[in-house]
Amino acid sequence: MKRFISQLIILIVICFLASCGTIQEKPAVKSGPVINKPANFNHIKKALYSQYNEWQGVRYQRGGLSRRGVDCSGFVHITYKSKLGMHLPRTTHLQSRIGKEIRKEDLRAGDLIFFRTGPASNHVGIYLENNKFLHASQKKGVIISRLDHVYWKANYWKSIRI
């Protein structure tokens, strides 16, 4: 019996660690401001930098949704809800399936940026400006990184505009 329980716990941990947010949920219900109107981009940038100031350095925690720890898709989910008044799905997988795919060259503040970081894992961040994006890094917590950094450049997957 103990062996069965141990194996069950290991299986649960492996499933949980498979990627940054893999729990299935219902599609997003949009509300709040329309992101793709050019007049909103300054407002969006200010809101995103405000979020960064509040969350800077919060450690990464897979499945986390608080200042005690947050993962990449959770941070995007919280940021969109609290700063932009929009409900996005909780997981990277579902976040990557909403909105309209755009070219990397067309990125604007508030667009989602996705990366393939492993065979079964993805990462998501929010574009700010000038090749910079906001995200929850596994090593450094909530930070601003550059898209032209060798790691992010090599693992870029796609961009989505909500």
Q: Has 149 been annotated as catalytic?
A: no
Contact 87, 81 (CB under 8 A): yes
User: Max Cα separation, the chain?
Assistant: 62
Cα Rg of the chain, angstroms: 16
Q: Has 135 been annotated as catalytic?
A: yes
Torsion from C-alpha of 18, 12, 89, 59, nearest 10 degrees: -70
Tokens at 80, concatenated: 């969109």
Cβ partners under 8 Å of residue 93, min gap 6: 19, 21, 22, 24, 122
Q: Has 87 been annotated as catalytic?
A: no
Catalytic residue, chosen from 20, 77, 93, 123, is: 123
Catalytic residue, chosen from 20, 72, 77, 93, is: 72
Contact 137, 143 (CB under 8 A): yes
* Residues acting as catalytic residues: 72, 123, 135
